[in-house]
Amino acid sequence: MIRHMAKNPIGIFGDDMKKQCKRKHYALINTIAHAIDGARITSGPKVDQLRIRELSAIEALAKGRATVQEWADMVALVYVCAQMATHGVGHEAKAVCDEADGHLIAASKRYELTGRMGLTGPGLRCIRDLYEYHDLQRTSISLSAYERHIAATANWMRSQAPEVSDVAA
């Protein structure tokens, strides 16, 4: 009993009572499935939803009834495509990105004057070509690499780099 009291002077805990770790335990993930999801080529319902959103924005810009959100979706498409082209994924799309950026800036200025958001014929052709380039870029890399390019583009736009147009920011 004296030995027990030396360990536990009050004498209310038994010898089997040990300190417990207060570390948080998180739900375990299936690491193999997680790695496969990151390494697979971009496809699935989220990418399909993104494609539908981009195509509907192009259609709205063609009809002249686009909203500011649809215009912003196209600006994001241009900048993600340019980011990927700069980093070696479909480098031939860079010239189309620069041209499409100019058409979108012209569309925003026209919107301020007339109140209608739309593209001209050459601008619409350029945006459709850009969409094809970007879709090829998107399907040629893994999902994790595509998400890295999207995050890098968002950070680049947020940094207000000189290459980001004032209208697009």
Please report, in tens digits, the pLDDT of each residue of the chain (169 residues total).
455 555 555 555 555 567 777 777 666 777 677 666 666 666 677 778 888 999 999 999 999 888 888 998 898 899 999 999 988 888 888 899 989 989 999 998 988 888 888 888 999 999 999 999 998 888 888 888 888 888 888 888 788 777 766 555 4
CA atoms within 13 A on the CB side of 159: 9
Please report, in angstroms and rounded to a whole number, the separation of the first and last CA atoms in the chain.
75
Give which of 84, 72, 165 is closest to 117, Cα–Cα.
72
Q: Within a 10 A sphere around the Cβ of 36, how many other Cβ atoms?
A: 10
3-state secondary structure of 11: coil
State the Cα–Cα distance between residues 104 and 79, nearest whole angstrom. Answer: 12
The encoded tokens of residue 123 equal 């601008």
CA 74 – CA 55 distance, rounded (Å): 10
